[in-house]
Structure 1
Amino acid sequence: MIDEAEPHPKLVQLNELVGFCERRVLRADDRVAAAQLEHSEAVLALNDANKRRAHWIAANPDPQMELI
């Protein structure tokens, strides 16, 4: 039977560090995905607001222009 030696303590530390970093990347990926969704929704809202404003301006011309 092969006796497996315990891994070197430095390797254990490095493995833990890699695990922490991997989890940090996953959390950051989640935040990036949420930010991208928020950005897309904000762009859609901005486009809608600009269209509504343009329609309002077209339907309500400046009365000062009529005096000229």
Structure 2
Amino acid sequence: MDANVHLLTSRIRQVAREASNEEELRYGVSRVLEEVVSELGIRGKFEKATAFLDSGRKKKGRIDALYGAL
């Protein structure tokens, strides 16, 4: 298990070195985690889509994707 953790952290560090912004980092780490989850046989989603109200209109998406609403 320790070797797998070291490999995982190594891959995440590599993604961090190559990313030029937060979105690239988030996407790269997400891809690494998706591979790990798949290898472990875990099924599901990392992010939960949510319905929420914005100015009286119902919207869907990740709750942190609505800028300036917090």
TM-score by length of 2: 0.30
Between 1 and 2, higher relative CO (CA 8 Å, sep ≥ 6) is seen in: 2
Structure ranking higher in strand proportion: 2
Relative to total residues, which structure has the larger helix share, 1 or 2? 1
